[in-house]
Amino acid sequence: MKARRSDLAVVLAMVVLAVIICIANRMHPITYEMYTSEGITYEKGTVAQVLEENLEREQGSERYRGTQVLKVRMKTGGLEGREIEVTNELSSTHNILAGVGQNLVIKVDAPEGVTPFYSVFNYDRTAGIVMFLGMFALFMMLVGGMKGLRSMIGLAYAMFLIMALLLPAVYHGWPPVAAAVLTSLLIAVFSMVLLNGVGRKTVTAVAATMFGVIAAAAVYYIFSTILHLSGFNLEESEELILIQNSTGMQVGDLLFTGILIASLGAVMDMTMSVASSLFEMKHIHPEMTQKEIFRSGMTIGRDMIGTMCQTLVLAFAGTAVASLLVMISYGTTFNQLLSSDYTALELMHSLTGSMAVILTVPITSCLSALVMEHGGKHKTDHLRG
């Protein structure tokens, strides 16, 4: 009964916070747009007929280049139910091969007083994405049971906080570091409470996560100064500067914001895994001393650090493969590569997150030892909560 009340309180808090965020966004909408899109919409449609087709097989691949003339039955927007004629140009960079029954997204460029122009934007991937997400959710619940469902809810809420709280706040000129830390705290609290309920173990893990975030901030500021890196070194810096001039957005600290959000999941995983193991050990062996708890946490953490850091580094390395291949084609030398903004940024992302994960091991071990020792041996029956 107590657990159900706790769950209801958590859900209620999540709903109330979501409502407050939505009201705040309505009161302070994003009004600045770099490029005007007046008269342009993107609507869904289905290919009813291929009227003309002039295609040639692209040499060395399975793709085609050329032109198609399509009759498309529109499913959304002001053209819903109508059939329109669309010319589809297939090139090396825009290669959307359409056939009868293919679902597409059509770019409708219809300024007032001008003849509308229609073009193929892309495949309509809505159904595929929904199926993919549904399969992911199904596997999570089949394998994880109620924990899997709670994890799904926590993940969905984390994405909501990033999209509805972090991004608008930064866009409107909030300090990116403060906004990122606040968002991280909310994500950590709701995710961990959903999974493990309200208890000393959860509080310990949340506190360790926030200490890990602070450690990541310290590492970031030290090495960003040494490497001369900031948000102005990002690939999108020119566009971001234009936004900054109109909204007051602070571009310099955006690099840390991205690093923090990217590594938060790994930091939470490490803190909860170490804390959960230590609280379980203390429950089974109430005679464990504070020193023994700390040593056990360090031993457990050492076994996890290697694979966790590899996960972070390889995740960033995987996203760099295409860019590195392009650099090779440019004849980039080792000195160029090592001192380029691109390499430095990738290293900052992967190594800052990894160092945050590493530092959370002694932090979590120390906090767990202090919390359990403070609770006293007569309270070990409640340590699992």
Domain-wise residue ranges, the chain = 40-124, 144-382
The residue with tokens 């923090």 is: 260
Please tell me the predicted confidence (pLDDT) of residue 3.
61
Please tell me the predicted confidence (pLDDT) of residue 259.
86
Q: Given a cut of 70, is residue 50 above it in pLDDT?
A: yes
Q: How confident is the model at residue 379 (pLDDT cuts 50, 70, 90)?
A: very low
Sign of the Cα torsion 99, 102, 107, 108 reads positive
Q: Given a cut of 60, is residue 168 above it in pLDDT?
A: yes
Name the most confidently modeled range: 34-43, 164-173, 328-337.
Answer: 164-173
Summarised one tens digit per residue, pLDDT across range 298-325 is: 999 888 887 778 877 787 778 788 888 8
Element (DSSP H or E) covering residue 120: strand 117-123
Does the domain spanning 40-124 belong to CATH 2.40.50? yes
User: 60 or 26: whose pLDDT is higher?
Assistant: 26
Summarised one tens digit per residue, pLDDT across range 173-201 is: 899 989 999 999 999 999 999 888 888 88
Please tell me the predicted confidence (pLDDT) of residue 382.
44
Q: How confident is the model at residue 378 (pLDDT cuts 50, 70, 90)?
A: very low
Tell me the average pLDDT across 259-278: 88
CA distances (Å), 304 to each of 201, 208, 309, 357, 364, in order? 19, 16, 9, 10, 13
**CA quadruple 227, 230, 234, 238: dihedral, nearest 10:** -130
Please tell me the predicted confidence (pLDDT) of residue 375.
59
Summarised one tens digit per residue, pLDDT across range 273-301 is: 999 999 988 888 888 888 999 999 999 98
Please tell me the predicted confidence (pLDDT) of residue 333.
83
Please tell me the predicted confidence (pLDDT) of residue 2.
60
